[in-house]
Amino acid sequence: MSNKPRKFKGGVHPNDSKALSASSPVQDAPLLEKYTVILHQNIGAPPELLVKKGDAVKKGALLAKASGFVSVPLHAPTSGTVTAIDKCPGPTGISVPSVEITADGEDEWGSPFEPMADWQNAEPADLKQRVWDAGVVGMGGAGFPSHVKLSPPPEKPIDTLILNGAECEPYLTADHRLMLEQAEEVVLGAAILARILGLKTAVIGVENNKLDAIEALKKVAANHNVTVQGLSVNYPQGAEKQLIYALTGREVPIGGLPMAVGCVVQNVASAVAVADAVVMGRPSIERITTVTGEPLVNPGNWRFRIGTPISKALELAGGVKVQPAKLLLGGPMMGFAQSSLDVTVMKNTSGILLIPAEQVSQYTSEPCIRCGKCVTCCPMDILPATISQAVENERFDLAAQLNVLACIECGSCSYVCPSHRPLNQHFKRAKAEIMAARRKQQNK
Protein backbone atom coordinates (compact mmCIF):
# COMPACT_ATOMS: atom_id res chain seq x y z
CA MET A 1 0.00 0.00 0.00
CA SER A 2 1.40 3.38 -0.91
CA ASN A 3 1.48 6.16 1.64
CA LYS A 4 0.61 8.97 -0.70
CA PRO A 5 -2.80 8.58 -2.38
CA ARG A 6 -2.89 8.73 -6.16
CA LYS A 7 -5.27 11.14 -7.83
CA PHE A 8 -7.62 9.51 -10.28
CA LYS A 9 -8.11 11.19 -13.64
CA GLY A 10 -11.01 13.62 -13.86
CA GLY A 11 -13.58 14.40 -11.19
CA VAL A 12 -15.24 17.62 -10.08
CA HIS A 13 -15.27 19.78 -6.96
CA PRO A 14 -18.82 20.76 -6.10
CA ASN A 15 -19.49 22.83 -3.02
CA ASP A 16 -19.17 20.62 0.06
CA SER A 17 -22.31 21.89 1.87
CA LYS A 18 -21.49 19.38 4.63
CA ALA A 19 -21.30 22.12 7.28
CA LEU A 20 -25.12 22.01 7.48
CA SER A 21 -24.99 18.67 9.30
CA ALA A 22 -21.36 17.65 9.85
CA SER A 23 -21.26 18.76 13.46
CA SER A 24 -24.67 17.31 14.38
CA PRO A 25 -24.23 14.14 16.42
CA VAL A 26 -26.38 11.19 15.44
CA GLN A 27 -29.79 11.20 17.10
CA ASP A 28 -31.92 8.10 17.50
CA ALA A 29 -35.28 8.60 15.83
CA PRO A 30 -38.17 8.01 18.26
CA LEU A 31 -40.26 4.85 17.95
CA LEU A 32 -43.05 5.30 15.40
CA GLU A 33 -46.56 3.84 15.43
CA LYS A 34 -46.21 2.27 12.00
CA TYR A 35 -43.35 1.14 9.80
CA THR A 36 -43.91 0.36 6.10
CA VAL A 37 -40.96 -1.85 5.19
CA ILE A 38 -40.23 -2.12 1.47
CA LEU A 39 -39.68 -5.78 0.55
CA HIS A 40 -37.02 -5.44 -2.15
CA GLN A 41 -34.08 -3.61 -0.56
CA ASN A 42 -31.18 -5.14 -2.42
CA ILE A 43 -29.73 -5.52 -5.89
CA GLY A 44 -30.67 -8.99 -7.08
CA ALA A 45 -33.81 -10.98 -6.38
CA PRO A 46 -36.39 -9.78 -3.84
CA PRO A 47 -36.73 -11.94 -0.73
CA GLU A 48 -39.60 -14.39 -0.26
CA LEU A 49 -42.27 -13.17 2.11
CA LEU A 50 -42.77 -15.45 5.14
CA VAL A 51 -45.21 -13.48 7.32
CA LYS A 52 -48.85 -12.78 6.58
CA LYS A 53 -51.37 -10.24 7.76
CA GLY A 54 -52.09 -10.59 11.46
CA ASP A 55 -48.78 -12.24 12.41
CA ALA A 56 -47.11 -10.97 15.58
CA VAL A 57 -43.40 -10.21 15.20
CA LYS A 58 -40.57 -9.28 17.54
CA LYS A 59 -37.91 -6.70 16.74
CA GLY A 60 -35.43 -8.28 14.32
CA ALA A 61 -37.71 -11.20 13.47
CA LEU A 62 -37.49 -12.69 9.98
CA LEU A 63 -40.12 -11.13 7.65
CA ALA A 64 -38.85 -12.59 4.41
CA LYS A 65 -36.11 -15.07 3.55
CA ALA A 66 -33.50 -14.84 0.80
CA SER A 67 -34.88 -16.27 -2.44
CA GLY A 68 -31.54 -17.17 -4.00
CA PHE A 69 -27.83 -16.50 -3.71
CA VAL A 70 -28.07 -12.86 -4.82
CA SER A 71 -30.83 -12.06 -2.34
CA VAL A 72 -30.92 -11.15 1.36
CA PRO A 73 -33.47 -11.70 4.15
CA LEU A 74 -35.57 -8.89 5.61
CA HIS A 75 -36.17 -8.35 9.33
CA ALA A 76 -38.77 -6.44 11.39
CA PRO A 77 -37.67 -2.97 12.60
CA THR A 78 -39.69 -3.26 15.81
CA SER A 79 -42.00 -5.59 17.71
CA GLY A 80 -45.69 -5.50 16.80
CA THR A 81 -48.20 -6.92 14.34
CA VAL A 82 -48.14 -7.21 10.58
CA THR A 83 -51.16 -5.11 9.69
CA ALA A 84 -50.91 -5.10 5.90
CA ILE A 85 -49.08 -6.67 2.99
CA ASP A 86 -49.60 -4.03 0.33
CA LYS A 87 -47.76 -1.58 -1.88
CA CYS A 88 -46.09 1.71 -1.12
CA PRO A 89 -44.25 4.23 -3.34
CA GLY A 90 -40.73 3.05 -4.08
CA PRO A 91 -37.53 5.10 -4.48
CA THR A 92 -37.63 4.82 -8.27
CA GLY A 93 -41.16 6.17 -8.51
CA ILE A 94 -42.99 2.91 -9.09
CA SER A 95 -45.10 1.37 -6.30
CA VAL A 96 -43.41 -1.63 -4.72
CA PRO A 97 -44.56 -4.44 -2.41
CA SER A 98 -44.21 -3.60 1.27
CA VAL A 99 -44.98 -4.97 4.74
CA GLU A 100 -46.73 -2.68 7.20
CA ILE A 101 -45.96 -3.27 10.88
CA THR A 102 -47.91 -1.56 13.62
CA ALA A 103 -45.66 -1.20 16.69
CA ASP A 104 -46.81 -2.49 20.06
CA GLY A 105 -44.61 0.03 21.85
CA GLU A 106 -42.51 -2.63 23.60
CA ASP A 107 -39.70 -2.66 20.98
CA GLU A 108 -38.76 -6.13 22.21
CA TRP A 109 -35.84 -7.89 20.52
CA GLY A 110 -36.41 -11.30 18.95
CA SER A 111 -33.36 -11.73 16.72
CA PRO A 112 -33.20 -15.07 14.86
CA PHE A 113 -29.54 -15.57 15.94
CA GLU A 114 -27.21 -15.20 18.91
CA PRO A 115 -24.04 -13.09 19.24
CA MET A 116 -20.88 -14.96 18.19
CA ALA A 117 -18.76 -14.57 21.30
CA ASP A 118 -15.56 -16.07 19.90
CA TRP A 119 -15.62 -14.64 16.39
CA GLN A 120 -11.81 -14.28 16.30
CA ASN A 121 -11.62 -18.07 16.07
CA ALA A 122 -14.80 -18.73 14.16
CA GLU A 123 -14.74 -20.30 10.68
CA PRO A 124 -14.76 -17.64 7.94
CA ALA A 125 -17.62 -19.53 6.26
CA ASP A 126 -19.71 -19.26 9.44
CA LEU A 127 -18.98 -15.54 9.72
CA LYS A 128 -20.02 -15.08 6.09
CA GLN A 129 -23.23 -17.02 6.68
CA ARG A 130 -23.97 -14.66 9.58
CA VAL A 131 -23.48 -11.66 7.27
CA TRP A 132 -26.01 -13.20 4.89
CA ASP A 133 -28.46 -14.16 7.62
CA ALA A 134 -28.40 -10.62 8.97
CA GLY A 135 -29.41 -9.22 5.58
CA VAL A 136 -26.39 -6.92 5.25
CA VAL A 137 -26.23 -5.00 1.96
CA GLY A 138 -23.99 -2.24 0.60
CA MET A 139 -25.05 0.75 2.64
CA GLY A 140 -23.19 3.36 0.65
CA GLY A 141 -26.24 3.48 -1.60
CA ALA A 142 -25.88 0.54 -3.99
CA GLY A 143 -27.54 -2.12 -1.82
CA PHE A 144 -25.54 -4.99 -3.26
CA PRO A 145 -25.69 -8.10 -1.01
CA SER A 146 -22.49 -8.03 1.06
CA HIS A 147 -22.12 -11.81 1.35
CA VAL A 148 -21.91 -12.04 -2.45
CA LYS A 149 -19.05 -9.51 -2.47
CA LEU A 150 -17.35 -11.66 0.15
CA SER A 151 -17.65 -14.77 -2.05
CA PRO A 152 -15.19 -14.27 -4.90
CA PRO A 153 -14.64 -17.36 -7.07
CA PRO A 154 -11.35 -19.24 -6.40
CA GLU A 155 -9.82 -18.05 -9.68
CA LYS A 156 -10.02 -14.45 -8.43
CA PRO A 157 -7.74 -14.33 -5.34
CA ILE A 158 -8.22 -11.36 -3.03
CA ASP A 159 -5.30 -9.62 -1.37
CA THR A 160 -6.77 -6.26 -0.34
CA LEU A 161 -9.80 -5.30 1.75
CA ILE A 162 -10.80 -1.66 1.42
CA LEU A 163 -13.34 0.10 3.61
CA ASN A 164 -15.05 3.01 1.88
CA GLY A 165 -15.24 5.99 4.20
CA ALA A 166 -14.86 8.55 1.43
CA GLU A 167 -18.47 9.85 1.45
CA CYS A 168 -17.67 12.07 -1.51
CA GLU A 169 -21.26 13.23 -2.16
CA PRO A 170 -21.92 16.82 -1.05
CA TYR A 171 -24.36 17.34 1.84
CA LEU A 172 -24.05 13.78 3.18
CA THR A 173 -22.41 13.35 6.59
CA ALA A 174 -23.87 10.02 7.82
CA ASP A 175 -20.65 8.03 7.32
CA HIS A 176 -18.60 10.91 8.77
CA ARG A 177 -20.54 10.88 12.04
CA LEU A 178 -20.48 7.07 12.08
CA MET A 179 -16.68 7.01 11.82
CA LEU A 180 -16.37 9.73 14.44
CA GLU A 181 -18.79 8.28 16.98
CA GLN A 182 -18.44 4.55 16.33
CA ALA A 183 -14.80 4.25 15.26
CA GLU A 184 -14.36 1.09 17.34
CA GLU A 185 -17.26 -0.68 15.55
CA VAL A 186 -15.97 0.38 12.14
CA VAL A 187 -12.56 -1.09 12.82
CA LEU A 188 -14.12 -4.18 14.39
CA GLY A 189 -16.20 -4.66 11.26
CA ALA A 190 -13.05 -4.33 9.16
CA ALA A 191 -11.34 -7.01 11.23
CA ILE A 192 -14.28 -9.41 10.86
CA LEU A 193 -14.46 -8.81 7.10
CA ALA A 194 -10.72 -9.38 6.84
CA ARG A 195 -11.10 -12.72 8.66
CA ILE A 196 -13.88 -13.76 6.26
CA LEU A 197 -11.61 -13.04 3.28
CA GLY A 198 -8.61 -14.75 4.89
CA LEU A 199 -6.65 -11.49 5.10
CA LYS A 200 -4.58 -10.08 7.93
CA THR A 201 -5.10 -6.39 7.26
CA ALA A 202 -7.53 -3.86 5.87
CA VAL A 203 -7.33 -0.22 4.82
CA ILE A 204 -9.97 2.45 5.40
CA GLY A 205 -10.02 5.25 2.84
CA VAL A 206 -11.34 8.61 4.13
CA GLU A 207 -11.40 11.92 2.26
CA ASN A 208 -9.25 14.66 3.76
CA ASN A 209 -12.24 16.85 4.53
CA LYS A 210 -12.94 14.56 7.51
CA LEU A 211 -9.69 14.93 9.47
CA ASP A 212 -11.42 14.37 12.82
CA ALA A 213 -12.81 11.05 11.60
CA ILE A 214 -9.34 10.02 10.37
CA GLU A 215 -7.93 10.81 13.82
CA ALA A 216 -10.69 8.90 15.61
CA LEU A 217 -10.18 5.86 13.39
CA LYS A 218 -6.40 5.92 13.63
CA LYS A 219 -6.65 5.77 17.44
CA VAL A 220 -8.33 2.35 17.37
CA ALA A 221 -7.16 1.04 14.01
CA ALA A 222 -3.78 -0.15 15.23
CA ASN A 223 -5.42 -2.62 17.67
CA HIS A 224 -6.87 -4.63 14.80
CA ASN A 225 -4.15 -4.34 12.19
CA VAL A 226 -6.13 -1.82 10.15
CA THR A 227 -4.62 1.21 8.44
CA VAL A 228 -6.32 4.50 7.71
CA GLN A 229 -5.46 6.40 4.52
CA GLY A 230 -6.44 10.00 3.81
CA LEU A 231 -7.68 10.66 0.27
CA SER A 232 -7.67 13.83 -1.80
CA VAL A 233 -11.03 15.56 -1.90
CA ASN A 234 -12.31 14.89 -5.39
CA TYR A 235 -15.78 13.73 -6.43
CA PRO A 236 -16.34 10.75 -7.06
CA GLN A 237 -13.52 9.54 -4.81
CA GLY A 238 -15.94 7.12 -3.14
CA ALA A 239 -16.75 5.30 -6.37
CA GLU A 240 -15.31 1.77 -6.16
CA LYS A 241 -13.01 1.91 -9.16
CA GLN A 242 -11.64 5.35 -8.30
CA LEU A 243 -11.14 4.33 -4.65
CA ILE A 244 -9.22 1.22 -5.65
CA TYR A 245 -7.00 3.23 -7.97
CA ALA A 246 -6.26 5.87 -5.36
CA LEU A 247 -5.34 3.32 -2.70
CA THR A 248 -3.62 0.62 -4.75
CA GLY A 249 -2.83 2.04 -8.17
CA ARG A 250 -4.69 -0.84 -9.81
CA GLU A 251 -7.18 -0.22 -12.59
CA VAL A 252 -10.32 -2.32 -12.69
CA PRO A 253 -10.88 -3.33 -16.35
CA ILE A 254 -13.96 -2.00 -18.16
CA GLY A 255 -16.91 -4.29 -17.47
CA GLY A 256 -14.94 -5.96 -14.67
CA LEU A 257 -15.40 -6.08 -10.91
CA PRO A 258 -12.98 -5.12 -8.11
CA MET A 259 -12.22 -8.81 -7.55
CA ALA A 260 -10.55 -8.81 -10.98
CA VAL A 261 -7.70 -6.82 -9.40
CA GLY A 262 -7.76 -8.67 -6.10
CA CYS A 263 -9.80 -6.14 -4.10
CA VAL A 264 -13.02 -6.16 -2.10
CA VAL A 265 -14.59 -2.83 -1.16
CA GLN A 266 -17.17 -2.40 1.62
CA ASN A 267 -18.81 0.74 2.95
CA VAL A 268 -18.01 1.69 6.57
CA ALA A 269 -21.70 1.48 7.50
CA SER A 270 -21.88 -2.03 6.02
CA ALA A 271 -18.83 -2.91 8.16
CA VAL A 272 -20.63 -1.69 11.27
CA ALA A 273 -23.71 -3.73 10.25
CA VAL A 274 -21.42 -6.78 9.98
CA ALA A 275 -19.97 -6.06 13.43
CA ASP A 276 -23.51 -5.72 14.84
CA ALA A 277 -24.55 -8.99 13.26
CA VAL A 278 -21.54 -10.99 14.47
CA VAL A 279 -20.74 -9.45 17.85
CA MET A 280 -24.21 -8.29 18.95
CA GLY A 281 -26.29 -10.89 17.13
CA ARG A 282 -28.45 -8.20 15.49
CA PRO A 283 -29.87 -8.18 11.94
CA SER A 284 -29.72 -5.10 9.71
CA ILE A 285 -32.82 -3.03 10.55
CA GLU A 286 -31.56 0.52 10.92
CA ARG A 287 -29.03 2.96 9.53
CA ILE A 288 -27.78 6.53 9.92
CA THR A 289 -29.24 8.93 7.36
CA THR A 290 -28.43 12.60 6.83
CA VAL A 291 -31.57 14.73 6.54
CA THR A 292 -30.34 17.99 5.12
CA GLY A 293 -30.77 20.87 2.74
CA GLU A 294 -31.06 24.67 3.02
CA PRO A 295 -34.90 24.65 3.24
CA LEU A 296 -34.83 22.52 6.44
CA VAL A 297 -35.13 24.06 9.88
CA ASN A 298 -32.89 21.51 11.66
CA PRO A 299 -30.69 19.54 9.26
CA GLY A 300 -28.81 16.71 10.96
CA ASN A 301 -28.10 12.99 11.15
CA TRP A 302 -30.57 10.47 12.50
CA ARG A 303 -30.57 6.77 13.09
CA PHE A 304 -33.72 5.59 11.30
CA ARG A 305 -35.20 2.15 11.21
CA ILE A 306 -36.13 0.72 7.82
CA GLY A 307 -39.74 1.50 7.02
CA THR A 308 -39.66 5.07 8.39
CA PRO A 309 -41.65 7.33 6.01
CA ILE A 310 -39.76 10.30 4.54
CA SER A 311 -42.53 12.60 5.77
CA LYS A 312 -41.70 11.56 9.37
CA ALA A 313 -37.99 12.11 8.74
CA LEU A 314 -38.64 15.65 7.52
CA GLU A 315 -40.85 16.26 10.56
CA LEU A 316 -37.98 15.31 12.86
CA ALA A 317 -35.75 17.75 11.03
CA GLY A 318 -38.13 20.49 12.05
CA GLY A 319 -39.94 20.78 8.74
CA VAL A 320 -39.19 23.38 6.07
CA LYS A 321 -38.71 27.12 6.42
CA VAL A 322 -38.89 27.72 2.67
CA GLN A 323 -40.71 25.68 -0.01
CA PRO A 324 -38.21 23.26 -1.59
CA ALA A 325 -38.24 22.45 -5.30
CA LYS A 326 -36.71 18.97 -5.19
CA LEU A 327 -36.55 16.05 -2.76
CA LEU A 328 -33.73 13.58 -3.34
CA LEU A 329 -32.94 10.25 -1.77
CA GLY A 330 -29.17 10.09 -1.70
CA GLY A 331 -26.85 12.95 -2.55
CA PRO A 332 -27.25 15.79 -5.07
CA MET A 333 -25.01 14.14 -7.68
CA MET A 334 -26.44 10.63 -7.85
CA GLY A 335 -29.61 10.83 -5.78
CA PHE A 336 -33.08 9.91 -7.05
CA ALA A 337 -35.70 12.65 -7.25
CA GLN A 338 -38.92 11.71 -5.49
CA SER A 339 -42.53 12.53 -6.27
CA SER A 340 -44.07 11.16 -3.05
CA LEU A 341 -43.38 11.70 0.65
CA ASP A 342 -44.72 8.22 1.43
CA VAL A 343 -41.49 6.53 0.34
CA THR A 344 -39.82 4.84 3.31
CA VAL A 345 -36.22 4.56 4.48
CA MET A 346 -34.38 1.49 3.16
CA LYS A 347 -31.05 -0.11 4.13
CA ASN A 348 -29.27 1.96 1.47
CA THR A 349 -30.90 5.39 2.08
CA SER A 350 -27.83 7.45 2.87
CA GLY A 351 -29.46 10.85 2.65
CA ILE A 352 -32.75 12.74 2.39
CA LEU A 353 -31.98 16.01 0.67
CA LEU A 354 -34.18 19.04 0.02
CA ILE A 355 -33.06 21.52 -2.62
CA PRO A 356 -34.36 25.11 -2.86
CA ALA A 357 -35.74 26.36 -6.19
CA GLU A 358 -32.77 28.61 -7.06
CA GLN A 359 -30.31 25.72 -6.85
CA VAL A 360 -32.20 23.27 -9.06
CA SER A 361 -30.60 22.57 -12.44
CA GLN A 362 -32.93 23.37 -15.31
CA TYR A 363 -32.04 20.91 -18.04
CA THR A 364 -32.25 22.14 -21.62
CA SER A 365 -31.84 20.50 -24.97
CA GLU A 366 -29.30 23.10 -26.10
CA PRO A 367 -26.74 21.76 -28.57
CA CYS A 368 -23.39 20.56 -27.37
CA ILE A 369 -20.82 23.33 -27.84
CA ARG A 370 -17.92 20.82 -27.91
CA CYS A 371 -16.18 22.58 -25.03
CA GLY A 372 -14.79 19.26 -23.74
CA LYS A 373 -15.40 20.00 -20.04
CA CYS A 374 -17.28 16.72 -19.66
CA VAL A 375 -14.46 14.73 -21.27
CA THR A 376 -11.93 16.32 -18.92
CA CYS A 377 -13.94 15.51 -15.80
CA CYS A 378 -15.14 11.98 -16.65
CA PRO A 379 -13.54 9.62 -14.11
CA MET A 380 -14.12 6.60 -16.37
CA ASP A 381 -12.34 8.12 -19.39
CA ILE A 382 -15.26 7.92 -21.82
CA LEU A 383 -16.69 10.66 -24.07
CA PRO A 384 -19.92 12.07 -22.62
CA ALA A 385 -20.31 14.66 -25.40
CA THR A 386 -20.20 12.18 -28.28
CA ILE A 387 -22.24 9.53 -26.48
CA SER A 388 -25.01 12.00 -25.66
CA GLN A 389 -25.13 13.06 -29.32
CA ALA A 390 -25.44 9.41 -30.32
CA VAL A 391 -28.26 8.88 -27.81
CA GLU A 392 -30.10 11.98 -29.03
CA ASN A 393 -30.09 10.40 -32.48
CA GLU A 394 -31.18 7.05 -31.00
CA ARG A 395 -27.90 5.49 -32.17
CA PHE A 396 -27.53 3.09 -29.26
CA ASP A 397 -25.17 0.90 -31.29
CA LEU A 398 -22.76 3.81 -31.50
CA ALA A 399 -23.22 4.52 -27.78
CA ALA A 400 -22.32 0.92 -26.97
CA GLN A 401 -19.22 1.21 -29.16
CA LEU A 402 -18.23 4.29 -27.19
CA ASN A 403 -18.36 2.25 -23.96
CA VAL A 404 -21.41 3.86 -22.38
CA LEU A 405 -21.72 0.67 -20.28
CA ALA A 406 -18.55 1.74 -18.42
CA CYS A 407 -20.34 4.85 -17.14
CA ILE A 408 -20.81 4.85 -13.35
CA GLU A 409 -23.55 7.54 -13.55
CA CYS A 410 -21.64 9.79 -11.13
CA GLY A 411 -23.16 12.93 -12.66
CA SER A 412 -19.88 14.85 -13.00
CA CYS A 413 -20.49 15.56 -16.68
CA SER A 414 -24.04 16.89 -16.13
CA TYR A 415 -22.62 19.05 -13.35
CA VAL A 416 -20.06 20.81 -15.56
CA CYS A 417 -21.98 21.06 -18.84
CA PRO A 418 -22.38 24.78 -19.75
CA SER A 419 -25.34 23.94 -21.99
CA HIS A 420 -27.12 22.19 -19.10
CA ARG A 421 -27.61 19.05 -21.15
CA PRO A 422 -29.15 16.15 -19.21
CA LEU A 423 -26.11 13.95 -19.88
CA ASN A 424 -26.63 11.48 -17.03
CA GLN A 425 -30.19 10.81 -18.19
CA HIS A 426 -28.91 10.17 -21.73
CA PHE A 427 -26.59 7.50 -20.41
CA LYS A 428 -29.26 5.89 -18.23
CA ARG A 429 -31.44 5.71 -21.35
CA ALA A 430 -28.62 4.28 -23.47
CA LYS A 431 -27.80 1.62 -20.89
CA ALA A 432 -31.47 0.65 -20.52
CA GLU A 433 -31.90 0.32 -24.30
CA ILE A 434 -28.67 -1.63 -24.79
CA MET A 435 -29.46 -4.09 -21.98
CA ALA A 436 -33.04 -4.51 -23.27
CA ALA A 437 -31.73 -5.21 -26.79
CA ARG A 438 -29.25 -7.76 -25.42
CA ARG A 439 -32.00 -9.51 -23.44
CA LYS A 440 -34.15 -9.61 -26.58
CA GLN A 441 -31.21 -11.09 -28.50
CA GLN A 442 -30.72 -13.76 -25.85
CA ASN A 443 -34.38 -14.72 -25.73
CA LYS A 444 -34.60 -15.17 -29.51
Partner 1 sequence: MTIILTSLIFAALLGAILALIIGVAAKAFAVESDPRIETVTDMLPGANCGGCGYAGCADFAKAIVEGAASPSDCPVAPAGDSARIAEYLGITSEQKEKMVAVVRCSGSISVTVRSPYNGINDCRSAVLVAGGAKGCDYGCLGLASCARACPFDAIEIRDGLAVVHPELCVGCGKCVDICPKNLIVLVPASVDVHVYCNSPEKGSVKRKVCKTACIACRKCIKAADNAEQMTVKGFLIETNYDNPPLSDLVEKTGCPTTALRLASKHAAGEYDGVSK
Partner 2 sequence: MADNILTITIGAILVNNFVLAKFLGICPFLGVSKKIKTALGMSGAVVFVMTLSSLVTSLIYKYVLSKTFTVAGTEINLTFLKILVFIVVIASLVQLVEIILQKFSPPLYQALGIFLPLITTNCAVLGAAELSVQAGYGVLESTIFGFCSALGFALALILFSSLREKLDLAQVPAPLKGTAIGLITAGILAMVFMGFSGLV
**Residue in 98, 97, 171, 178 with CA at minimum distance from that of residue 139:** 178
Q: Does 422 bind partner 1 (CB under 8 A)?
A: yes
Q: Is 308 in the site for partner 1 (CB under 8 A)?
A: no
Using the rule CB under 8 A, is 395 a contact of partner 2?
Answer: yes
Q: Under rule CB under 8 A, how many of the chain's residues touch partner 1? A: 19
Least distance in Å: CB of 91 to partner 1? 9
Binding string, residues 90-129; x marks residues near partner 1 by CB under 8 A: --xxxx----------------------------------
Query: Distance between CA atoms of 353 and 365, rounded to whole angstroms?
Result: 26
Q: Residue 400 CB, nearest distance to partner 1 (Å)?
A: 16
Stretch that binds partner 1, among 213-221, 309-317, 374-382, 421-429 (CB under 8 A): 421-429
Nearest to 281 by CA among 132, 126, 115: 115
CA Rg, the chain, in Å? 21
Contact status: 392 vs partner 2 (CB under 8 A) = yes
**Which uninterrupted H or E stretch holds 190?**
helix 183-197
Site membership for partner 1, residue 336 (CB under 8 A): yes
Partner that binds at residue 393, options partner 1, partner 2, none, CB closer than 5 to 8 Å by kind: partner 2
Calculate ∠ Cα 172-178-179, nearest 5°.
Answer: 105
Range in contact with partner 2 (rule: CB under 8 A) among 155-163, 252-260, 338-346, 391-399 = 391-399
Nearer to partner 1, 2 or 92 (CB): 92
The answer to whether 63 and 74 are in contact (CB under 8 A) is: yes
Q: Which residues pair with 202 in a beta bridge?
A: 226
247 or 390: CB nearest partner 2: 390
Stretch binding partner 2 (CB under 8 A), from 102-110, 220-228, 318-326, 390-398? 390-398
Residue 255, sorted as left (phi over 0), alpha (psi -120 to 50) or beta, turns out to be: left
- Is 339 a binding residue for partner 1 by CB under 8 A? The answer is yes
Strand partners, 280: none
Q: Indicate whether 390 belongs to the interface with partner 2 (CB under 8 A).
A: yes
Q: Check residue 423 for interaction with partner 2 (CB under 8 A).
A: no
Q: What are phi and psi of 271, to 5 degrees?
A: -60, -40
The 359-378 site mask, x for binding partner 2 (CB under 8 A), equals --------xx----------
Q: Which of 50, 46, 79 is nearest to 62 (CA)?
A: 50
Contact assessment for residue 415 and residue 12, using Cβ atoms and an 8 Å cutoff: yes
Residue 426, binding choice from partner 2, partner 1, none, Cβ under 5 to 8 Å by partner class? partner 1
Pairing of strands 74-75, 62-65: antiparallel
Rule CB under 8 A: say whether 311 interacts with partner 1: no
| CA separation for the pair 166, 176 (Å, rounded) | 9
Query: In b/e form, how buried is each residue of 57-77, taking b as 16+ CB within 10 angstroms?
Result: bbbbbbbbbbeeeebbbbbbb
Query: What is the rounded CA–CA span in Å between residue 366 and residue 179?
Result: 43
Using CB under 8 A as the binding rule, whether residue 393 contacts partner 2 is answered as: yes
Q: Backbone phi, then psi, for 23, in 5-degree steps? A: -100, 10
Number of residues engaging partner 2 in binding (CB under 8 A) = 9
Nearer to partner 2, 48 or 392 (CB): 392
In the complex, the residues that contact partner 1 under the rule CB under 8 A are 92-95, 336-339, 360, 362-363, 365, 422, 425-426, 428-429, 432-433
In the complex, the residues that contact partner 2 under the rule CB under 8 A are 367-368, 386, 389-390, 392-393, 395, 398
